[in-house]
C-alpha cells in the first residue's frame, strides 16, 4: 500500500527530472530512496537521520526533522517528519515545481494510483483535499491540490495507530 504511493512519487519526480527540456541543475543523488519514505512511519529520529542526507537537513528539534532536496534549478522537494515519543508518526512530502503542468502530472499519477490501490478505501474530496484511509485503518493519506496551479504538491501521510 505505502510502496505504491512512493513508487508513484519516484516515477513522476524522475520523469520530471529527466524529461524536461531544461538542463538539470542539481539532482537528488538518492532519489531512489523516496520509495522508502513512507516506510519511515514508526522509525526513531536517529534511524531516519542515519538514512537521510545530513547536508539536506534544514530544521531539527525533538518533535520534527526536515530535509530539502533540489530536483532542478527551480524545483525542490521537502520531507518533514514529525515525532511523538521519539517515533515518527507523520510525514509530509512537499514538491515545489516551477511549472503548473509538472504539478498536474504528479497529481494525475497520484490519483490514478490511489484509485487502483486496493489497500485504501474510497476516495474522499473536500476543500480540495483528497483523503484515503487504509482498509486496515492504520494509515491516512491526504493529497492537497489547493495550490496545484502554483506548482505546489503536498502529500501528507499519518499513522493512525
Spell out the SS3 assignment of 50-104: HHCCHHHEEEEECCEEEEEEEEECCEEEEEEEEEECCEEEEEEEEEECCCHHHHH
141 belongs to a structural domain: no
Q: Number of C-alpha atoms within 13 angstroms, CB side, residue 86? A: 4
71 belongs to a structural domain: yes
140 belongs to a structural domain: no
133 belongs to a structural domain: no
63 belongs to a structural domain: yes
Residues of the chain below pLDDT 50: 11, 15-35
- Please give the pLDDT value at position 110: 81
36 belongs to a structural domain: yes
Any idea what DSSP says for residue 25?
A: S
Q: Which domain holds residue 39?
A: 2-118+147-159
Query: pTM to 2 decimals?
Result: 0.76
Please give the tally of structural domains in the chain.
Answer: 1
131 belongs to a structural domain: no
Give the CA angle between residues 119, 124, 127 to the nearest 5°.
140
Summarize pLDDT for 25-56 with one digit per residue, the tens: 233 333 333 345 667 889 999 999 998 899 99
Q: Which helix (DSSP H) or strand (DSSP E) does residue 140 occupy?
A: strand 139-144
Summarize pLDDT for 86-97 with one digit per residue, the tens: 999 999 989 898
42 belongs to a structural domain: yes
Amino acid at each position: 500500500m505505502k510502496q505504491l504511493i512512493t513508487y508513484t512519487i519516484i516515477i513522476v519526480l524522475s520523469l520530471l527530472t529527466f524529461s524536461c527540456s531544461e538542463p538539470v541543475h542539481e539532482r537528488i543523488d538518492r532519489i531512489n530512496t523516496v520509495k522508502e519514505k513512507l516506510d519511515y512511519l514508526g522509525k526513531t529520529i536517529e534511524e531516519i537521520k542515519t538514512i537521510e542526507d545530513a547536508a539536506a537537513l534544514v530544521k531539527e528539534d525533538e518533535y520534527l526533522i526536515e530535509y530539502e532536496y533540489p530536483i532542478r534549478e527551480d524545483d525542490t522537494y521537502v520531507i518533514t517528519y514529525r515525532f511523538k515519543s521519539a517515533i515518527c508518526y507523520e510525514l509530509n512530502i512537499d514538491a515545489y515545481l516551477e511549472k503548473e503542468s509538472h504539478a498536474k502530472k504528479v497529481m494525475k499519477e497520484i490519483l490514478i494510483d490511489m484509485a487502483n490501490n486496493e489497500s485504501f478505501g474510497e476516495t474522499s474530496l473536500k476543500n480540495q483535499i483528497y483523503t484515503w484511509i487504509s482498509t486496515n485503518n492504520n494509515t491516512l493519506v491526504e493529497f492537497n491540490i489547493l495550490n496545484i496551479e502554483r506548482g505546489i504538491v503536498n502529500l501528507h501521510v499519518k499513522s493512525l495507530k
